[in-house]
Amino acid sequence: MNAALRAIIAIVAALAIAWIGWGMFRSLLRRTPRNVPLPEPEATPSDVRITYRCEECGTELLLVRKGSEAPPRHCGEAMIRREEVEAG
């Protein structure tokens, strides 16, 4: 084989490898499968405030809408849930 044919084969092989690699990388970035509807966030009652507190650093988070049952994470640990009922 001559050098020109080898160069063309190398370029085509490099593009094929890059195309496959990019497709695999994009699939890792995708959080949910395609065509699967996300669950609707659950609204909390207006008189109950749900807050989460990080025991490591003391950061507090006020939850407006609940998206999942799993507590948020901060400093690498799950935050502690607190429910406060507002005085009427």
CA 30 to chain centre: 8
pLDDT at 71: 83
**What number is the average pLDDT over the span 45-61?**
81
Which one has a higher pLDDT value, 71 or 40?
Answer: 71
Tokens of 59: 């950061």
Is the model's pTM score more than 0.75?
no
Report DSSP state, residue 28.
H
How high is the pLDDT of residue 44? 56
Residue labelled with tokens 């609707």: 40
Q: What does the pLDDT look like over 13-45, one tens digit per residue? A: 999 999 999 988 888 887 666 677 766 766 556
Terminal alpha carbon distance of the chain: 86
What single-letter DSSP state applies at residue 54? -
> Would you say residue 58 has pLDDT above 90?
no
Q: What is the mean pLDDT of the chain?
A: 81
pLDDT average, residue stretch 40-53: 71
Q: Tokens 């370029």 identify what position?
A: 11
| Tokens linked to 23 | 């497709």
In single-letter form, the type of residue at position 67 comes to G
Mean pLDDT, range 5-16, rounded to an integer: 95
